[in-house]
Chains A and B, each alone.
Chain A
Amino acid sequence: MTRLVRNFPGLTTYAVLYLVFLYVPVLLLPLFSLNDGTIVAFPIKGFTLKWYAELVGQEALLQSLVNSLIVGGVTALLATSLGMFAARAYVRNRFTGREFSEALVMLPLVVPGIIVASSFLVLFLSIGLKPSLTAVILGHTFLTVPFAVAIMKSAFDEFDPALEEAAYDLGETVFGTFRRVTVPIVAPGIVASFLVTFTVSFDEFILAFFLGGDQPTLPVYIWSQIRFPAKLPNTLALGSCLLAFSVVLLVTAEFFRRRSAKSGS
């Protein structure tokens, strides 16, 4: 290590500075959410938890949280189901159109958000679906399918097909094999996919903003609060809760993803 540092001190310094650049905006919110002052500036005045305490019992906030949990949960369920079956086909089966299909399901990752949001709004309204949580769920499922497919593909990659063949040979039906062999083995991958797609949906703003109508999700609620300087400390506290929640979910997801990689090999 010391030899490397001597060889290339500039690059290591740069890497550390880059990490600081990445983490300052993320750590800033929790830091100032504990500050006993209403503006985000140095010097820090003192420690307080009152901004968090004030969040409790706010009707609109609670409702948006419930909305987000519903949207995230249903989205994660739909995206993970779609992703699981598709990933299995991509890993196991050779069929015409496989490459096209694989490329297509990754497309939502690169389409500009505003275009997805505006075109979905127009589409949904013209088929009679009003802006609502249902519309947000359909949009978020579209957005999160690539994440589910990618995670489930790595879960199936590690999974020995001989296990399924053995189950067939021993007389299990297709459904029985799926339920008693496939699902238990890729279960950690399923959990990881569920958590990741849930988090992506939970944090997503632009689609929820366009498609939610009068049912705001948590990010849309935060957006409405950002405009009021007086609400700033509460917004910081709420944002910090959201950050903590996302990180906990993703660390858990990472844990399950690794377990799925390990159990397979």
Chain B
Amino acid sequence: MIRLRSEASRGMALSAPATLYVGLLVAAPLGILVVYSFWSQTYVSIDRSFTWENYSSALTDPLVRHLLVRSVWIAALVTAATVVLAYPIAYFIAFRTRYKTLWLLLITIPFWTSYLLRVFSWKLILGFNGLMNSALMALGLIDEPLEFLLYNEFAVVLTLAHAWAPFAIMPIYVSLQKIDPSLLEAASDLGCSKIESFLRVTLPLTVPGIIASCLIIFIPTVGDYVTPALVGGSDGKMIANLIQVQFGAANNWPLGATLSLLAMVSVGLVAGGFVVVSNLMARRIR
């Protein structure tokens, strides 16, 4: 009993520094954002009297609403595109190749290179005078550079689907690996076709992996700054770009704090709703 108690207290003591550090840096900034969001900016100084002004102006401003909705929309598109593109790869690695370790390594290496540089690279590929256009023209497939490649939603979705690839592949791969092969044998013994057994056995069993991938991608994407700034143009701007302006050029920190909180609440609501709905759907398929 004494040994047990000392084990518990040692565990707490050892994990305390990391827990406190992360916990403090989650709670304190959040608290201060909330406080700031009820203050207001008067030219260079902060007016510390309580006001709902930031929330009412942010929520009624069509630009803010537009950017919030677009950020959530783009993040949803990115999530869907990344997961749909990644699922076959996870399936391939789990069931169709003997060189699992090699494939997993090949897929994670690009992720470890600088995110900023990868986004920058997409800008060079998709640009008006860029790689894609010059290659297509050299091959004689087009006469004039394509303009729709860069500075729009498509560019943002493509770039982020590239950036998040391993985050989608890994959780799905893990959930595919866990599937008991005898379940698939049973399905085929009971007369399921390959497609049927995929839809009714494999897919429902990988729902936890899919949900994990979706959350890991969706949550950070809503607040992504670099990709919309570099390849988004004016059609691809997202809420993070507006937040950055408030903390930079516009110098309106209380509004910036409000926007950050609104972005977080939107992410939370959409992500929570998504988890509930997809769990319900998974139950129905089964």
Per DSSP, chain A at the interface is helix
Q: Inside 8 A of B263's CB, which chain A residues have their CB?
A: 112, 114-115
CB pairs A–B below 8 angstroms (16 shown): A14-B88, A22-B165, A26-B110, A28-B131, A29-B121, A41-B129, A43-B138, A85-B17, A89-B14, A89-B15, A93-B7, A105-B19, A111-B219, A122-B257, A123-B28, A226-B230
B165 x A89 contact (CB < 8 A): no
A206 x B32 contact (CB < 8 A): no
Q: Inside 8 A of B267's CB, which chain A residues have their CB?
A: 112
Contact of A105 (CB < 8 Å), options: B10, B11, B18, B112: B18
B28 x A112 contact (CB < 8 A): no
**Counting chain B CB atoms within 10 Å of each CB, which of A19, A114, A246 scores highest?**
A114
Q: Inside 8 A of B118's CB, which chain A residues have their CB?
A: 25-26
- Judged by a CB distance under 8 angstroms, whether A53 is at the interface is no
What is the interface size of chain B, counting residues whose CB is below 8 A from a CB of the partner?
Answer: 83
- Judged by a CB distance under 8 angstroms, whether A4 is at the interface is yes
- Judged by a CB distance under 8 angstroms, whether A52 is at the interface is no
> When chains A and B are docked, how far (Å) is the Cα of A98 from the Cα of B224?
31
> When chains A and B are docked, how far (Å) is the Cα of A259 from the Cα of B79?
35
A86 x B12 contact (CB < 8 A): no
A12 x B92 contact (CB < 8 A): yes
Taking the nearest CB of chain B, how far is it from the CB of A168, in angstroms? 12
Q: Which of A218-235 contact B (CB under 8 A)?
A: 219, 222-223, 226, 235
A122 x B223 contact (CB < 8 A): no
Closest 5 CB pairs of A and B: A112-B223, A93-B11, A119-B29, A41-B134, A86-B18
B29 x A203 contact (CB < 8 A): no
Q: Inside 8 A of B97's CB, which chain A residues have their CB?
A: 4, 15
B26 x A104 contact (CB < 8 A): yes
Q: Inside 8 A of A111's CB, which chain B residues have their CB?
A: 26, 219-220
> When chains A and B are docked, how far (Å) is the Cα of A222 from the Cα of B260?
26
Q: Which of B161-197 contact A (CB under 8 A)?
A: 162, 165
Chain A, interface residues (CB within 8 Å), range:
35 or more
Q: Inside 8 A of A40's CB, which chain B residues have their CB?
A: 124, 127, 130-131
Taking the nearest CB of chain A, how far is it from the CB of B141, in angstroms? 13
> When chains A and B are docked, how far (Å) is the Cα of A90 from the Cα of B8?
11
Q: Which of B212-243 contact A (CB under 8 A)?
A: 215-216, 219-226, 230, 239-240, 243
A118 x B243 contact (CB < 8 A): yes
Contact of B114 (CB < 8 Å), options: A101, A219, A254: A219
> When chains A and B are docked, how far (Å) is the Cα of A217 from the Cα of B15?
31
B19 x A86 contact (CB < 8 A): yes
Stretch at the interface among A54-62, A69-77, A141-149, A184-192: A141-149
Q: Inside 8 A of A85's CB, which chain B residues have their CB?
A: 14-15, 17-18
Q: Inside 8 A of A93's CB, which chain B residues have their CB?
A: 7-8, 10-12, 14
A89 x B12 contact (CB < 8 A): yes
Q: Inside 8 A of B55's CB, which chain A residues have their CB?
A: none
Q: Inside 8 A of B17's CB, which chain A residues have their CB?
A: 81-82, 85-86
> When chains A and B are docked, how far (Å) is the Cα of A126 from the Cα of B21?
18
Residue interface mask A29-40, B partner, CB < 8 A = 1: 100100000011
CB-CB nearest in chain B for A254: B105
A123 x B223 contact (CB < 8 A): no
